Structure formats: C-alpha cells, structure tokens
Amino acid sequence: MRGRRLLIVVILIIAAAVIVFFRTYDGKPGPLPSVDEIIAELNEYDSEADASVVLENVKLNEQQVFIPFVSNQGIHGMGFLKWENRKWRVARVDMSGRPEVRVTDHSDPSGRYVVWNINPLENVKEFRFYLIRDRNAGMSNGVYYYVPRVQMEMLVNVTEHPYGAMPFPDEWAGIIREDDKLGKAPAANIMDNIFSHSYSQPSTIYVGYLPVYANDASELGSSSKSGDEDTEFLMIMNETDLERPQK
C-alpha cells in the first residue's frame, strides 16, 4: 500500500513537471507569418498603425524580428515580432520610426541593435550614433579613482539606408561589460559594504544620436514613445554634448 502511494506521488510530480515544461518551453521558432498576416497582426495590435506595406523582415535573432513598414498615410513605423508561447506575436509597434535600441539578450551587451525607419521626405542625410561614458572620480577604501571619458561614434548613411538594424559594435559591447564589472565589484571590506552607497561607481554610460540634415531641411520634431522590456530609448544629442579634438 505504501509503495502504491509512493508511485502515485512520483507520477503526480512527473505530470506537474511535464505541464510546467510545456507551459514555459517556447520550442523552436516556426516560419514567419506571411506579409499579409504580419500587416493584419500589426494593425490588430495597434489600430493607429494602419500598416499597408512591409519593407522587410529583419531577423535580429532566432526569437525576434524587426518589421519596418509604411502606413496608408505614408507614415514610416516599426513593428517587432517575438516568438513566445510557441507562436509569433507582435511585441510592439512604434509609429515614430526614430532610432532606438532593441535588446535581444539582456545578459549580453552584444545582443543589442540600433533600429530605425525614417521617411526619406524628412531629408535626414546621416545618423551619428554615440556611446558616451562620462568622466567619473571618487574615493573607495581610502583610494582615489578616476574613470576617463569614452566617446565612440558609429555612422549610418540614411540616404542609402532609410531603415535598418545595426548590431552594437564589439567595442561598444566591451565598454559596457567593463562598466558592469566596475559596478558589480565587491567592496574591499565590511566598512565599504556598510557605506557602499558612498563609494559606488554608478554607470555613466548612455547612447544617443545626432541627426545630420540635408540643406534647408527642418529638424526632427519631438515624438512620444512607449516601450516594452526589450526597448531602450536614445536621446537626441547636440554638438555641444560631444567633445572634439582641439584644432
């Protein structure tokens, strides 16, 4: 009798494990929906999208796809498909088309893409993307430290590439990893642990972009964006935000 009860318990545990597995396992991504299906799903997700033309399906990784599209009103927007719960679904729609970062792997800085979809009528010639780490200085465990400024640039010819998805350069990912290590470095002793808020080295890294316009073109206006867990917004920069070599 006791053995029978034990067998029942084991069967119930196995059954529970199987149920949990199938509820959490997304499986191998299947084929993407057709263009017509993607348009219908974008419009169902956001009725204001009014998508009519899909420019391209840009695969970011096995589970995420970037969909630049054009609406019936000529607005250039961005859609994002994500493989979840064993199906492709729309994760987000953005109607501004302005550059932002799409995160495909939150544990790896190289799993980030800068994406955009700009209407050629806006006369943007070039995007200059920057990874900036501000100077930082302080004292920890009686030792002064200094973190130098980093300014890295990545150029995109918007005239040739009005939409696209560009992975973070290896150098950018390396700087972010280095910064993460500094932020997670253990305190030297128990007193530093107690007062760690006083001596921590907070991250001062951010990514922004500087639009370069054709002659007599009006500047990009402000836009409202709302994101999801895989979205990182970019700030529009001015020339005064940058440091240039003195001539």
Task: Check: CB of residue 42 under 8 Å from CB of residue 67.
Answer: yes
Residue 75 is which amino acid? I
Task: Check: CB of residue 82 under 8 Å from CB of residue 88.
Answer: yes
For residues 244 and 247, give the distance between their C-alpha atoms in angstroms, rounded to a whole number: 9
Tens of pLDDT, residues 199-244: 455 567 999 999 999 876 666 655 556 778 999 999 999 999 998 8
State the number of CA atoms in the 13 A half-sphere of 110 facing the CB.
Answer: 4
pLDDT at 25: 46
Which H helix or E strand runs over 159?
Answer: none
Q: In 46-160, where does DSSP find H-type helix?
A: none
For residues 137 and 146, give the distance between their C-alpha atoms in angstroms, rounded to a whole number: 4
Tens of pLDDT, residues 19-78: 544 444 457 899 999 999 999 999 999 999 999 999 999 999 999 999 999 999 999 999
For residues 119 and 114, give the distance between their C-alpha atoms in angstroms, rounded to a whole number: 17
Measured in residues, the chain has a length of 247
Q: Is the dihedral of CA 72, 159, 98, 216 positive or negative?
A: negative
pTM (predicted TM-score): 0.80
